[in-house]
Structure 1
Amino acid sequence: MQLQDLLPLMSKMYLSRTVDSFLKDVKLYEEDEMRNIILKNIEEFRNDKRVKSNLNFRTTDRDITLLNRLILKCLLGSQNYILTEKQLHKEVLDLQSQILHDSQDEDYMNAKIDATAGRVYTAVLNTAWLKDDALNEHEINILYTLRDEFNLSIRDHYLLESKIGRFPRKNGKLHSTQNIDQSLKDLQQRGIVVRIKSDAPYYVIPSDIVRIVRYEMGEELRTETYQQLLKDLNLTQLKQVLSSMNINTSGVKEAIIERIIKYNILPSQTLANLSNTELTQFLRSKEGVRISGNKEEKIQNIIDYYENITTKADSDPTDERSIYYDFMDQLASRNYKALRANRVIQKDVNVETYFEQATEYLFEKKLGLQLEEMPGSKHTDGRIKFDTKSVMLWDNKSTEKAYTFPNAHFDQFLGYIRSEKMRVAVFLIVAHDFTQEAINQAQKLKVFSEQDTGVALIRTEDLKYIAEHWKEYSEQKKPEFNLQVFNLTAEMNRQLLTNRMEWIIN
């Protein structure tokens, strides 16, 4: 879920933490003010440098740092990067227990960590922890350098700390749920995690920043998705991965895959065992993936391909159009890689048709509106009765870049409006984004329509927001959507739409 979708589910305290995470010296007291300021500055929230800077824990309290990393690992491994508070507490404590258990397994440790690296790193760890119950910044920097030198992961560090009785706390004591809550507060104040409330408290990494967080934390793929990648490799390739790390290679394919996951071998490490030729052949078997590049780039292309794979079922298995609705944003922006990876399209030419069907599904099933038949082939993508004397027309525009509203489309839309037998109250243009020129053209089309037609520009993500949330603005037992929400000549952003739903639907 994107941050803008989470804002309505956040209360004042948690909104305040998010505001403070990226907007300094801004004092607000009302929830709506906070939501508005976040929406206005959302690009700053998504800024790569901000996110990476706030994921630097080197000068942070050691327990907070440790728990921050474990919390993020649990969230990054969950479906849609969201867990209830109760689930998150349990998974963090379970993860600590698992590391403690693995550190006591000599066979596991011998296979996981090189003997020389383990001996040297443990000696430095012992010295660092000897004088007191904390590590200073200088010691932490030395340990970071050693890990890079020996190619040790942060999990390897925790395993070796466990061996000397310093993980998770002194003498292997687990952290409390109160400790976890303190770290959750820290992550909120950094603008990495947000807390929402519906039937229960949830913590979530907004999808706006999840890719940056994943790579900064070294969590290249969710376990479920990584398993799919491993299944697509052959048995010889999988055994080669384990053999390169002196890990037992016996067993059937399923056992090999389970072992690769158990030993926390990263996707990039697995793929590095393949030759350049093997990587090229593997890429060629995946439709829509870039094949060119050096070995490192090919590995990244494969990881990016699988990162786009989803296991999400159709939101409405009774209607085949629901899969297009689920991927409406990707259809609107012609994100061919994601659409192919998720098997939404077979051919590029399907995009426009499926985008239209997604929009039909939204108006018919999500908003409960009756679609009107349109004879012939020269017509807009959709028509709905606005009232007894007028209609709303809409047209979809699928473009890789922001929609510019060229003059050819202006003439086409004007022709649709003037040839309509009933007055066109609203002409709605649906795209993934709009340029300033498109907004100017909308104003011009309203004037040239000569019937005071509202020309509304709406992004797919905002139209889907309306589809999912409009009923919340009605006090009726059987609410009905009111098309007046769209009756305006403007670029209809989230805040404008929310304000209109508040007084029109209610």
Structure 2
Amino acid sequence: MYLQDILPKMSKLYLNRTVDSFLKDVRMDTEEEMREVIIKNVDEFQNKERVKRNLNFNSSERDIALLNEMVLMSLMDQQGYILSESEVFSTVENLEKEIVEQSKDEEYIKTAIPEERMRIYKAVLIESWKKDDSLNEHEINILNVLRKELELSKRDHYLIESIIGRFPQKNNKLHTHKQIERTLRDLQSRGIILRYRDGKSYYIIPNEIARTVRYEMGGELRNEVYETLLNDLNVTQLKVILNFLSINVGGNKKDLIQRILKHNILPSTALKTFNTKELTQILKNLDGAKISGTKEDKVQNIIDYYENLSTPEFSDPTDERSRMYDFYEQLASRDYKSLRVNKVIEKDINVERYFEEATHYLIQKKLGIEPIDMKGSKHADGKIKYNPKEVVLWDNKSTEKPYEFPSEHFDQFLGYIRTEKSRVTLFLIIVSEYTRDAISQAQKLKAFSEEDSDVAIIKATDLKYVAENWKSYSNNKNPKFNLQVFNLTGELTRNILNSRMEWAL
């Protein structure tokens, strides 16, 4: 979820924490002011250097620093980087338990961490812990350098800490819910996670910073996506990975995959066991993946490809158009890579038609309004009845760059309005992004319509927001959508839409 989808569901306390995380000495009285200032300063919020700086926990007290990492690891393994409050507690607790249990399994440790690396790192770790019950920033930096030199993961570090009785706490004591609550507040104050309510409380890493968080925390792929990558490899390739790391290569393909996952072998570690030629061949089988570059580039290209994968399930199994609706914003912005990776499109030419079909699904299934069939091909992408004498027309324009409303579209839309038998009270243009000139063109089209037709431009992400949230604005048991929400000329921003839904529904 993006910030603009999360912010309306956040209360004043949590909005204030987010504002304070990246804007100092800014004071506002209302929730709406806070939401507006966050959106206006989104570039600063998602600034990579800010995120990296706030992901440095070396100077934090031990329990906060460790739990920050546990919480982020838990969120990063979820599609959408989201967990309910109760799930955060249980997932962090289970993660700590899992690491402690694995550290007690001698056979597992022998295959997970090479013996010589274990000996060196364990000796330094024990010495670092001798002084007192915490590690200072200098000791943590030294351990981080040593860990990277020995090619040990952060997970390996936790396992070795657990072996010496220092993970999660002294004598392998698990953290309490109260301690986890403290770390959740800390991560909010850093602007790394947000808390909102939608029936119950949720914690989320917003999309704007999720990729930076993943790379900085050493996370590469969610387990379910990693499993998809491994399934796309053949048995011989899986055995190469396991054999290189001196792990048992017996069993069928499923056994091999589960063994790789069980030993927490990072995707990059697994892929580096292949030579450049083999990596190139893997990339050639991934539609739309970048093939060129060094060996390290190719490994990253493969990881990037799979990082874009989402669940293959339809949000609405009864209607195949729901898959297009699930990728509505990507269709609007012509995000070919994401659309191809997730098998939404087979050819680039599909994008425009699928964007139209997704909009029909949104109007019909989400807003509960039945589109009117139109004959021929020279007409707008969709039409719905406004009242017995008037209609609403809409047209989809998917573009990779902000929509500029060119003159040929002006003439096209004017023709649609003038040839429609019923009066067009509203012409809605659905895009990914738009320029200021496009807004001027919309106002001009209203004047030229000769019917005083309103012409509104709306972002696909905002239209989808309305589709998902409009019912919450109505007190009726069986609410009906009111098209007055869209009926104006100019831009339909998120704030304008919220305001109109408040009085129209």
- TM-score normalised by length of structure 2: 0.97
Between the aligned partners of 1:267 and 1:128, the Cα distance in structure 2 is 30
**1:93 aligned partner:** 93
* CA shift for structure 1 position 370: 2.5
**1:54 aligned partner:** 54
- Alignment gaps of 5+ in structure 1: none
Q: Indicate yes or no: 2:291 matched with 1:288.
A: no
Q: What letter corresponds to residue 252 of structure 1 in structure 2?
A: N
SS in 1 for 2:265: coil
Equivalent positions of 1:403-422 (< 5 A) are 403-422=403-422
Equivalent positions of 1:435-474 (< 5 A) are 435-474=435-474
SS in 2 for 1:134: coil
Contact 2:440 2:490 in 1 (8 A): no
Q: What letter corresponds to residue 224 of structure 2 in structure 1?
A: E
Residues 402-459 of structure 1 show CA distances to partners (whole Å, capped at 9, x for unaligned) of 1111111111111212222222211111011112221221122122223222111101
SS in 2 for 1:273: coil
Using the aligned pairs only, state the percent identity: 58
SS in 2 for 1:208: helix
Q: What letter corresponds to residue 462 of structure 1 in structure 2?
A: D
Q: What letter corresponds to residue 478 of structure 2 in structure 1?
A: K
Between the aligned partners of 2:33 and 2:302, the Cα distance in structure 1 is 43
* CA shift for structure 1 position 118: 2.0
Equivalent positions of 1:467-482 (< 5 A) are 467-482=467-482
Between the aligned partners of 1:475 and 1:97, the Cα distance in structure 2 is 45
**2:298 aligned partner:** 298
**1:310 aligned partner:** 310
* CA shift for structure 1 position 147: 1.1
**1:68 aligned partner:** 68
**1:191 aligned partner:** 191
Instruction: Give aligned pairs, total.
Output: 505
Between the aligned partners of 1:278 and 1:103, the Cα distance in structure 2 is 34
Between the aligned partners of 2:201 and 2:427, the Cα distance in structure 1 is 41
**1:42 aligned partner:** 42
Equivalent positions of 1:142-157 (< 5 A) are 142-157=142-157
**1:428 aligned partner:** 428
**2:325 aligned partner:** 325
* CA shift for structure 1 position 342: 1.4
**2:335 aligned partner:** 335
Between the aligned partners of 2:432 and 2:416, the Cα distance in structure 1 is 22
Q: What letter corresponds to residue 124 of structure 2 in structure 1?
A: V
Equivalent positions of 1:52-451 (< 5 A) are 52-451=52-451
Q: Relative to structure 1, is the Cα distance of residues 373 and 253 closer, same or farther in structure 2, using a 3 angstrom cutoff?
A: closer
- Alignment gaps of 5+ in structure 2: none
102-111 or 459-468, larger mean C-alpha shift: 102-111
* CA shift for structure 1 position 294: 2.2
* CA shift for structure 1 position 466: 0.3
Residues 181-200 of structure 1 show CA distances to partners (whole Å, capped at 9, x for unaligned) of 11111111111111122333
* CA shift for structure 1 position 67: 0.6
* CA shift for structure 1 position 277: 1.8
Between the aligned partners of 2:315 and 2:365, the Cα distance in structure 1 is 12
**1:14 aligned partner:** 14
Q: What letter corresponds to residue 419 of structure 1 in structure 2?
A: T
190-199 or 332-341, larger mean C-alpha shift: 190-199
Between the aligned partners of 1:132 and 1:244, the Cα distance in structure 2 is 39
SS in 2 for 1:79: coil
Contact 2:4 2:39 in 1 (8 A): yes
Between the aligned partners of 2:195 and 2:139, the Cα distance in structure 1 is 33
**1:493 aligned partner:** 493
Over aligned residue pairs, what C-alpha RMSD do you find?
Answer: 1.5
85-94 or 465-474, larger mean C-alpha shift: 85-94
SS in 1 for 2:324: helix
Contact 2:79 2:310 in 1 (8 A): no
Between the aligned partners of 1:263 and 1:422, the Cα distance in structure 2 is 66
Between the aligned partners of 1:281 and 1:463, the Cα distance in structure 2 is 41
* CA shift for structure 1 position 312: 4.6
Between the aligned partners of 1:142 and 1:296, the Cα distance in structure 2 is 25
Residues 244-291 of structure 1 show CA distances to partners (whole Å, capped at 9, x for unaligned) of 122222222211111111111111111111222222222222222222
Contact 2:51 2:212 in 1 (8 A): yes
414-423 or 397-406, larger mean C-alpha shift: 414-423
SS in 1 for 2:80: helix
Residues 28-60 of structure 1 show CA distances to partners (whole Å, capped at 9, x for unaligned) of 232222222222222322222222221111211
Between the aligned partners of 2:253 and 2:375, the Cα distance in structure 1 is 56
**1:503 aligned partner:** 503
Between the aligned partners of 1:261 and 1:401, the Cα distance in structure 2 is 40
Between the aligned partners of 2:13 and 2:199, the Cα distance in structure 1 is 18
111-120 or 74-83, larger mean C-alpha shift: 111-120
Between the aligned partners of 1:164 and 1:289, the Cα distance in structure 2 is 43
* CA shift for structure 1 position 87: 1.8
* CA shift for structure 1 position 296: 1.8
Residues 320-360 of structure 1 show CA distances to partners (whole Å, capped at 9, x for unaligned) of 21111111111111111111111111221111111101111
Between the aligned partners of 2:423 and 2:94, the Cα distance in structure 1 is 63
- TM-score normalised by length of structure 1: 0.96
SS in 2 for 1:343: coil
Q: What letter corresponds to residue 298 of structure 1 in structure 2?
A: K
SS in 1 for 2:393: strand
Q: What letter corresponds to residue 251 of structure 2 in structure 1?
A: G
Q: What letter corresponds to residue 189 of structure 2 in structure 1?
A: Q
Q: What letter corresponds to residue 81 of structure 1 in structure 2?
A: Y
103-112 or 348-357, larger mean C-alpha shift: 103-112
Contact 2:312 2:342 in 1 (8 A): no
Between the aligned partners of 2:499 and 2:39, the Cα distance in structure 1 is 14
Between the aligned partners of 2:493 and 2:369, the Cα distance in structure 1 is 22
Equivalent positions of 1:22-41 (< 5 A) are 22-41=22-41
Residues 193-240 of structure 1 show CA distances to partners (whole Å, capped at 9, x for unaligned) of 111223332212122221221111111111011011101111111111
Q: What letter corresponds to residue 142 of structure 2 in structure 1?
A: I
Between the aligned partners of 1:223 and 1:316, the Cα distance in structure 2 is 24
* CA shift for structure 1 position 95: 1.2
SS in 2 for 1:395: strand
